[in-house]
Amino acid sequence: MTARLAILGGTPAFADRLPFVRPAVPPRDDVFARLAPSYDAGMLTNGALVRELEERAAARLGVAHVVAVSSCTTGLMLVLRVLDHLGELDPAAPVLLPSFTFSASAHAVSWNARACRFAECDPGSFQLDVDDAKRRTDGIGAVLATHVFGAPCGAEAVEDLGAAAGVPVVFDAAHAFGARRGERAVGTFGVAEVFSLTPTKPLAAGEGGLVATQRDDVAAALRIGRDYANPGNYDTRFVGLNGRMSEIHAAVALCSLDRFDEHLERRRAIAARYRDALADVPGVAAQEIDPDDRSTFKDLTITVEPGTFGVDRDTFVRALAAEGIDTRLYFDPPAHRQQSHAVDATDLPVTDEVASRVVSLPIYPSLRDEHVDTISAVVAEVHRQSSAIRA
């Protein structure tokens, strides 16, 4: 590609625009067939299909329990509430978490009327910087770490951090159903790990969440917690909520699972293709992932270092938009800069720097190799024509 870039008056690479995300939805007939027995029996929520999804997910992850909920946010809210109920989370103690995560991680803490204690991220992997976090553990009640963009965080080090502070560790695994940390499946770490099934995540149900835990007491409390914490006699045990999953969502999730491994493979192939193509572009870096780990590549996020690349991140995004390439700024602004959480006014210079440089590129199973090649060529061309763009 040597043509003039669209931002300089050339013809866009994607005249029809290339969407950022296109969920891999299962065939409609499969979903309806799967749903029929529950539907015809008038069982619309929390029935046989939800049970089947929980069992299949637990077997796949190799955990004792999976509890299906209405969303990952609900799951995170409930896990913190359940730890409080079980007496393992000091009332009112803050929760330590990275600022470089999706807003919902921090929202789950705030909905439990707790303060967020934000920590830095690593500038290469974007994961919680455990050394920085170690300096912020004073008085905390729990640690909540995210597996960022589907790549496992340093889960053992995060568990050690929690153990040293004497507090439970929970993982926001919204992006990471299907990820592996070495030989271990994400889902097996901490007290609980919570996955999301919204359409932007690798395994989609429409809406939904899955909480994985090895602990019988946590699973039992979550099962009543998603039902207002009503154990069956309407004498609620704690302040739960309606966090149930419907049979309709479970049917979609079960059908999505049937072809999930194929879709994960495709995501990994796309990611490898992007990484090869972008490796030689100065000033662009892909997320660092431990070579023994398997990411789901929920997102393909790169950083743009303006000095070397030639233009800053925002100009880069404008150049891609002119070519018809849709991108996202995950996660900018980071949680501690958002109006909802900025009250804590934490000083996090590394996170601010990372947030100012990130761009997430399109990645989904139906994205074709030619698309990846064209996007990569555009990225290289923006670098090559950067002085003209700056002018």
Ligand X SMILES: *Cc1c(COP(=O)(O)O)cnc(C)c1O
Binding site for ligand X (CB under 6 A): 71-73, 101-102, 104-105, 146, 172, 174-175, 196, 198, 209
Least distance in angstroms from the C-beta of 127 to ligand X: 12
- How far apart, in Å, are the Cα atoms of 96 and each of 28, 110, 137, 140, 142? 42, 12, 7, 6, 6
What's 121's DSSP letter?
Answer: B
CB-based burial, 328-355: b 16+ in 10 Å, e otherwise: bbbbbbbbbbeeebeeeebebebbbebb
Give the residue with the Cβ less far from ligand X, 196 or 346.
196
- List alpha helices for 8-122, DSSP H: 28-40, 48-61, 72-85, 103-111
Least distance in angstroms from the C-beta of 200 to ligand X: 7
Least distance in angstroms from the C-beta of 105 to ligand X: 5
Least distance in angstroms from the C-beta of 368 to ligand X: 25
What does the alpha-carbon distance between residue 50 and residue 70 come to, in Å, rounded to a whole number? 11
What does the alpha-carbon distance between residue 199 and residue 26 come to, in Å, rounded to a whole number? 12
What does the alpha-carbon distance between residue 333 and residue 330 come to, in Å, rounded to a whole number? 8
Give the residue with the Cβ less far from ligand X, 251 or 379.
251
Least distance in angstroms from the C-beta of 174 to ligand X: 3
Least distance in angstroms from the C-beta of 381 to ligand X: 31
CB-based contact 176:129 (threshold 8 Å): no
Give the residue with the Cβ less far from ligand X, 172 or 323.
172
Give the residue with the Cβ less far from ligand X, 196 or 327.
196
What does the alpha-carbon distance between residue 94 and residue 190 come to, in Å, rounded to a whole number? 18
What does the alpha-carbon distance between residue 354 and residue 363 come to, in Å, rounded to a whole number? 21
Indicate left, alpha or beta for 16 from its phi (over 0: left) and psi (-120 to 50: alpha).
alpha
Least distance in angstroms from the C-beta of 176 to ligand X: 9
Give the residue with the Cβ less far from ligand X, 195 or 309.
195
Q: How many CB atoms lie within 10 A of CB 252?
A: 27
3-state SS class at 285? strand
CB-based burial, 170-197: b 16+ in 10 Å, e otherwise: bbbbbbbbbbbbeebbbbbbbbbbbbbb
- As separate numbers, helices (DSSP H) first and strands (DSSP E) second, the chain gives 14, 12
Least distance in angstroms from the C-beta of 45 to ligand X: 17
Least distance in angstroms from the C-beta of 175 to ligand X: 6
